[in-house]
């Protein structure tokens, strides 16, 4: 008889969001993982993501859902009991929201993540814990760049930004995510939790409901398809590296499977130098793919905006062998295919529900 394989028990905070719902599907498709989704359903589109997951796995005993808020420490601690791996994706994600309401930003990103860490520590299971941070912890970066062309600024370093780049938060959002990722790292040092931090660049792909403040690739693509005008802050030559969410899923698995190397580490992750695109170049790609142009106007750059950000992911590559597989054009195609199958969702956009964090409710799969 073969050796019995023990069931993985994964708790996914923010499991109905863009990254979370993709990861939940990935885990459920693996067949060897029980998945607990914990989400406050406070963002547009997440109710649809959760409903699709529940419909697809209606007969599965491996899916559990809790409607709750990470600011509720007791609910978080209850959820963490028995988890062998924890993914902290729940967050306030917009720089503009953090400026307008820094207390909400702090209570969600810092206090909420602290609740998750304490729940992991107090569970006694020493679960693997992965936290998604952001390139915004590096602030505005040096405004100098490596030159420019008519459509893009060039990075000062061809390899991109590495983890040795000094932290310089430059916004309440940068402060909250940066403080949280330092807490996550220190819980590995002080308490021996096998934690990993991903400082992520631009992630794009299916199940993403982008807007002006977050998910810019999706925002521009769907605006073109819906005929909605957009605002470009700056001159449109700003450059980011784009990583398809499917490649991010592979990176999550690589980090978990290589814990002797990855535990306690922080990694910059994105599409890297081979997957860079400027705003102007993205608009051209959208027109090529869909036949639809985006009507746009220009406004001044916003505080904290980086002219160029490109991830140097070579540290993660050295530790795990991971590298991106999908380029920008393939990622856009994947998003366009998903939009065509779900266009009705965008005709009547969901209104986000602001959760109070007062408690949690468990729902059957």
Q: What per-residue confidence (pLDDT) applies to 359? A: 47
Pure H helices in 57-201 = 73-80, 95-100, 102-106, 112-123, 172-191
- pLDDT tops 80 at residue 121: yes
Q: What is the mean pLDDT of residues 155-176?
A: 93
Which residue among 173, 187, 222, 336 is the active-site one? 173
| Banded pLDDT at 306 (limits 50, 70, 90) | confident
pLDDT above 50 (res 295) = yes
Is the pLDDT reported for residue 34 higher than 70? Answer: yes
Separation CA 101–CA 117 (nearest Å):
24
Structure token pair of residue 294:
């985006």
184: left (phi over 0), alpha (psi -120 to 50) or beta: alpha
CA distances from residue 100 to 104, 175, 199, 276 in whole angstroms, order as listed: 9, 14, 24, 30
Q: How would residue 351 be classed by pLDDT, with cut points 50, 70 and 90?
A: very low
What pLDDT, on the 0 to 100 scale, is given for residue 9?
A: 97
Instruction: Give 74 or 344, the one with higher predicted confidence.
Output: 74
Residue carrying structure tokens 């924890």: 86
Q: What percent of the chain has pLDDT over 70?
A: 93
The Cα–Cα gap between 259 and 192 comes to 12
Is 173 among the catalytic positions?
Answer: yes
Average pLDDT (325-348) is 90
Kindly tell me if the per-residue pLDDT of 348 is higher than 60.
Answer: no
How high is the mean pLDDT of the chain? 91
Predicted local confidence at residue 153, as pLDDT = 93
Write down the pLDDT at residue 352: 43
Lowest mean per-residue pLDDT among 68-82, 118-132, 278-292, 339-353: 339-353
pLDDT attached to residue 361: 57
Q: Which domains does the chain have, with CATH numbers?
A: 9-363 (3.40.50.720)
Which residues make beta-bridge pairs with 268? 199
Q: At what angle do helices 245-257 and 18-30 cross, to 10 degrees?
A: 60
User: How many CA atoms lie less than 13 Å away from 351 in the CB half-sphere?
Assistant: 2
pLDDT tens-digit series, residues 132-148: 999 999 988 876 677 89
Report d(CA 275, CA 248) in Å as an integer: 14
* Overall average pLDDT of the 192-207 stretch: 96
Give pLDDT tens digits for 334-344: 999 999 998 88
Asked if pLDDT for residue 349 goes beyond 90, the answer is no
Measure CA 20 to chain center: 8
87-120, pLDDT tens digit by residue?
999 999 888 899 999 999 999 999 999 999 999 9
4 Cβ contact partners less than 8 Å away, ≥ 6 residues apart: none
Tokens in use for 200?
A: 């992520």
């Amino acid at each position: 008889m073969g050796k019995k394989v023990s069931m993985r028990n994964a708790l996914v905070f923010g499991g109905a969001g863009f990254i979370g719902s993709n990861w939940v599907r990935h885990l459920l498709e693996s067949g060897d993982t029980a998945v607990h989704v914990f989400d406050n359903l406070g963002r547009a589109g997440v109710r649809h993501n959760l409903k699709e997951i529940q419909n697809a796995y209606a007969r599965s005993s491996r899916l559990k859902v809790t409607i709750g808020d990470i600011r509720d420490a007791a609910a978080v601690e209850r959820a963490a009991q028995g988890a062998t791996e924890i993914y902290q994706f729940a967050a306030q994600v917009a720089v503009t929201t953090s400026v307008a309401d820094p207390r909400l930003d702090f209570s969600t990103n810092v206090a909420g993540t602290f609740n998750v860490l304490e729940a992991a520590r107090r569970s006694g299971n020493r679960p693997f814990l992965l936290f998604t941070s952001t390139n915004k912890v590096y602030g505005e970066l040096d405004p100098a760049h490596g030159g420019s062309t008519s459509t893009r600024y060039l990075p000062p370093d061809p390899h991109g930004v590495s983890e040795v780049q000094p932290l310089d938060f430059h916004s309440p959002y940068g402060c909250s995510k940066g403080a949280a990722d330092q807490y996550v790292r220190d819980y590995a040092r002080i308490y021996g939790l096998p934690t990993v931090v991903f400082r992520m660049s631009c992630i794009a792909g299916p199940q993403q409901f982008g807007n002006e403040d977050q998910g810019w690739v999706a925002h521009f693509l769907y605006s073109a398809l819906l005929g909605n005008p957009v605002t470009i802050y700056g001159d449109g030559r700003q450059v980011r590296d784009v990583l398809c969410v499917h490649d991010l899923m592979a990176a999550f698995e690589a980090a978990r499977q290589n814990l002797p190397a990855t535990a306690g580490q922080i990694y910059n992750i994105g599409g890297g130098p081979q997957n860079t695109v400027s705003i102007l170049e993205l608009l051209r790609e959208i027109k090529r793919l869909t036949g639809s142009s985006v009507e746009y106007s220009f406004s001044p750059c916003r505080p904290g905006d980086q002219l160029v950000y490109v991830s140097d992911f070579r540290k993660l590559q050295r530790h795990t062998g991971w590298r991106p597989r999908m380029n920008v054009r393939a990622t856009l195609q994947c998003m366009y295919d998903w939009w065509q199958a779900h266009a009705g969702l965008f005709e009547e956009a969901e209104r986000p529900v602001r959760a109070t964090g007062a408690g949690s409710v468990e729902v059957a799969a």
